[in-house]
Homo-oligomer: A and B are copies of this chain.
Amino acid sequence: MTRSTMLALLLLAAAPLSQAQSPALPDAGASDAQKLGWMQGFPPAADKTVRFDNGSFYSFPRLRWSFNHYREIVPTKTVSRGDGKVQAFASAPRDLDGVQFTTMDGRAMNFAEALQNTYADGVVVLHRGRIVYEKYFSEGRAERPHLAMSVTKSFVGTLAATLAVQGKLDPAAPITQYIPELKDSAYGDATVRQLMDMTVGVQYSENYADPKAEVFDYARAGGMLPAAPTYAGPRSFYDFLVTLKKEGEHGQAFAYKTANAEVLAWVVKRASGKSLADLMSEQIWSKLGVEQDAYFQIDRIGSESGGGGLNTTLRDLARFGEMMRNDGRANGQQVIPAAVVQDIRKGGDPAHFAKAGMSTLAGFSYRNMWWVSGNAHGMFMARGIHGQTIYIDPKAEVVIVRYASHPIAGNAANDPVTLPAFAAVANSLMK
């Protein structure tokens, strides 16, 4: 692929960002991956093929297929569930389709419409730990892991906070205590805590609408996007991270940058002496009674993407969310220290957060790579681009997990529907 083709593809993938309020988005039914027939037949028709090497896997509507088949696109590393028993969910079905709410921009809508509007590939709603609602759309399937995107970061943050409680990681320490290689980078004078809360001053743009944004350099370095034949840049996450330069001051403001999660993943690996996949298996995945192994996308030297490479099934993601709702307890044991969950629920500094100007997340803060609403329900979230969500409402005793393949990367495009929809569902279950 030439550089210009590459650029065109990236623009294609990123283009919808600028149409965030556009009424011209295709509806979810029209982009249903099953109906469009991607990857059917032997071989699939050329115009129905989704591939990595031409970048088409990350263009809409093909990404509606890719996000449900990510191991077929890139190399991956297993997060083992171990050989323990599956902890089956109790079921208490509720018809939530008709739950009414008003979108942030004033439209009346019900929950079924909200799932279509946000291009859901599947959703699971738990109330008091029982499945009350579970649906799959397009290529989504109960047994099929889906790309969690930046929901991954919340796992990394939870692992980091857990290692801290276990005395294996010091959040107050300089990052260079764990990764001396970063001494000449933006991270050379920042602390682990600043990483965990994303208050590092680093020149790194997450603007998907800008093809020169560093997020694309990150993705090419990590093998998440195809590199041109002439590509001579970094060929691993590590090689990319050491190139990042400081911009502004640390500890002053929340600034959402995937590179920080990738550095935190590196710190966690160094502190534990384990790969991210093995650490997550040991500390979380083998204890929850999940149904399936999870997996990480990895770069050319086998390093997991801690910024966005995790894939799980929805039910298993719900098990993780439910464990967080229960202060770290699940499956008859304390999986994550209660102190970790309490620290997350307390949240970060809302004043730092406000500086990011995220209009759909007024009043939120960010702690240990979780998004904390600060509202009366104590709601907190894990969030990934294109609509990936863990939504935990402690007061309503509700966990909602949704995987999606929204045409627009940034969640500002779906929050106006998602957030009031989930709140309405939680409220309806409290009655």
Contacts and interface: CB of A to CB of B under 8 A. Distances in A.
Contacts of A43: 236, 238, 301, 303
Contacts of A249: none
A230 B266 CA distance: 34
Interface string A201-230: 000000000000000000000000000011
Interface stretch (A66-74, A364-372, A416-424): A66-74
Interface stretch (A45-53, A101-109, A192-200, A252-260): A45-53
A331 interface: no
Tell me the interface secondary structure of chain A in the complex: loop
Contact of A298 (B72, B80, B269): B72
Interface residues of A, number: 38
A73 B238 CA distance: 18
A39 interface: yes
A300 interface: yes
A235 interface: yes
Interface in A36-66: 39, 42-44, 49-53
A34 interface: no
Given A42-B266, A52-B300, A75-B76, 8 more contacts: A39-B301, A53-B235, A69-B302, A71-B75, A71-B77, A71-B295, A75-B75, A83-B291
B72 A52 contact: no
A316 to B, nearest CB: 13
Contacts of A73: 75
Contacts of A247: none
A270 interface: yes
16 contacts: A39-B302, A42-B266, A42-B275, A42-B303, A44-B301, A49-B302, A51-B301, A52-B75, A71-B75, A71-B76, A71-B77, A72-B76, A75-B75, A75-B76, A229-B229, A293-B293
B71 A78 contact: yes
A39 B238 CA distance: 14
Contacts of A302: 39, 44, 49-51, 69, 72
A97 interface: no
Nearest to A179: B42
A184 interface: no
Interface in A64-120: 69, 71-78, 80, 83
Interface in A1-48: 39, 42-44
Interface of A: 39, 42-44, 49-53, 69, 71-78, 80, 83, 143, 229-230, 235-236, 238, 266, 269-270, 275, 291, 293, 295, 298, 300-303
Contact of A72 (B42, B75, B83, B291): B75
A72 B80 contact: no
A42 B274 CA distance: 9
A176 to B, nearest CB: 15
Given A53-B235, A300-B52, A143 B80 contact: yes
Contacts of A42: 238, 266, 269-270, 275, 303
A300 B71 contact: no
A49 B74 CA distance: 18
A75 B74 CA distance: 5
Contacts of A235: 53
A300 B75 contact: no
10 nearest CB pairs, A to B: A229-B229, A42-B269, A43-B238, A49-B301, A72-B302, A72-B77, A72-B75, A51-B300, A53-B300, A71-B76
A72 B79 CA distance: 12
Contacts of A266: 42
Contacts of A49: 301-302
A289 to B, nearest CB: 13
A83 B53 contact: no
Contacts of A238: 42-43
A431 B256 CA distance: 69
Contacts of A74: 75
A72 B71 CA distance: 10
